[in-house]
Amino acid sequence: MMQPDPTVPLLIEKEKKRQESTLTLIASENFVSAQVAAATGSLLTNKYAEGLPGKRYYGGCHIIDEIESLAIERAKSLFKVAWANVQPHSGSQANAALMMAVLKPGDKILGFNLAHGGHLTHGSPVNFSGRLYQASFYGVNPDTGYIDWESVAKKAKKERPAIIICGASAYSRDWDYIQLRAIADEVAAFLWADISHPAGLISQGLLNDPFPYCHFVTTTTHKTLRGPRGGLLLMGQDFDNPFGKTNRNGLLHKMSALLDAAVFPGTQGGPLEHSIAAKAVAFYEAMTHSFKCYARQVQKNAHVMAQAFLDEGYSILSGGTDNHLLLLDLYKQNITGKQAETVLEQADIITNRNLVPFDKNTPQVTSGIRLGTAAVTTRGLKEKDMLLIVEWIDYLLKNKDKDSQIKKVKQMVNAYMCRFPLTTVDGSVTE
């Protein structure tokens, strides 16, 4: 008989306690429902299913086909698009497949500067995207903290990229997809939105809709969308007319086949059908009224948190937020992002240090911390709780060398969070 593993179950239980008793403000994390977790941990992990529903390279796939087809149909309904591939193992994999389908090595790409809040897979030299393709970047206006669309247009005209990427890891403002599409059309580039962070809010119509304007959309499924860790590849609603008046070829007619092939066999092997089942469950949840209430509350909580920091005299990039996150610039307070992350973690408030645009500190140290409300909102925290969190953070940053004060806050955080147990996280948020 197989010996039970004496270690991993204990570590999982310990991690559960850690998640339960701490305050998660990492903007890219969330808590899945019991049914999403059950699908992720299901025996679907046993099955090989290379290929697509109805076109597999293995026998015994008829139930897997039903599951994956359901995930595809739900993804299409949720985002109101005609085509989806649910197989990417992660956001980075979705991005890799998209680039493989659309670009040749050496092609030019234009993305949002990583140091201003962009993402590694949008052309960073340390990532495949910056090694395989010639990347250039646009950034934020130093005076406003907003992306300046004029400067994106200038850059696009100068570089003439094959694809323009919009999307970020640490940008708290919405995107002007109409302007971006006009820019893309002018230089005959594809427009691609990576909505990994705000996907849950976009799915509920709470932010601008990229789908009518972008040729391609990629996302992770585990941030504001509150599904399992994974990726998703979608085509926009406008893929019959890819370059407006300057349409150069009929590539888009073949595009869905190219995208499918770029996922498998291009960049991945067997799909993770347990994750795909969990994505199907998450898409189902995202089409409920309860999820709409949840997404609205995420946005309200972020707004209240940002205002409370401003009222305390903190500097927030761009002066606020439209979405689920905000970036605190602590340079004026003479605290580095690293120090802030450390003192907050000592009190069980979990955040991540983050570069701010034009940062004078290194990426390891940084001047900022990024805070997001997706996870705490799932736990059931509302506006008044955001005020308390800001009070705690402010107190900790002002007392960062005082162990006994930090300990007191930690005890308060732990007691507070135990009022919102993980076992009751079922995805229902009421207004």
- Residues at the annotated binding site for (6S)-5,6,7,8-tetrahydrofolate? 114, 118-120
Q: Is 194 a catalytic residue?
A: yes
Long-range interactions of 149-153: CB distance < 8 A, separation 24+: 149/176, 149/179, 149/180, 149/183, 152/110, 152/179, 152/180, 152/183, 153/179, 153/183, 153/186
Q: Is 47 a catalytic residue?
A: no
Comparison of 219 and 268: residue with beta carbon closer to ligand DSN:
219
Residues 111-140, mask of contacts with ligand DSN (x by CB under 6 A) = --------x---------------------
358 Ramachandran zone, left/alpha/beta (phi>0; psi -120 to 50): left
Long-range interactions of 386-389: CB distance < 8 A, separation 24+: 386/301, 386/304, 386/305, 386/308, 387/304, 387/308, 388/416, 389/23, 389/25, 389/305, 389/349
Q: Is 329 a catalytic residue?
A: no
Angle, helices 403-417 vs 383-398, to 10°: value is: 160
Q: Is 74 a catalytic residue?
A: no
Helix (H, G, I), strand (E, B) or coil at 431: coil
267 binds ligand DSN (CB under 6 A): no
Comparison of 252 and 325: residue with beta carbon closer to ligand DSN:
325
The pairing of strands 163-166 and 108-112 is: parallel
Number of residues that bind ligand DSN (CB under 6 A): 4
Burial class for 328, CB neighbours closer than 10 Å (0-12, 13-18, 19+): buried
28 binds ligand DSN (CB under 6 A): yes
Rounded least distance, CB 215 to ligand DSN, Å: 22
Q: Is 229 a catalytic residue?
A: yes
Residues 57-96, mask of contacts with ligand DSN (x by CB under 6 A) = ----------------------------------x-----
Rounded least distance, CB 119 to ligand DSN, Å: 6
Q: Which residue has the tokens 């948020």?
A: 429
169 binds ligand DSN (CB under 6 A): yes
Rounded least distance, CB 317 to ligand DSN, Å: 15
Comparison of 64 and 225: residue with beta carbon closer to ligand DSN:
225
Comparison of 196 and 307: residue with beta carbon closer to ligand DSN:
196
Q: Is 314 a catalytic residue?
A: no
* Nearest-CB residue for ligand DSN: 28
Rounded least distance, CB 179 to ligand DSN, Å: 24
- 246: how many CB neighbours lie within 10 A of its CB? 12
Handedness of CA 380, 386, 388, 394 (dihedral sign): positive
Which residues are near ligand DSN by CB under 6 A?
Answer: 28, 91, 119, 169
- Cite the active site residues: 48, 50, 194, 220, 223, 229
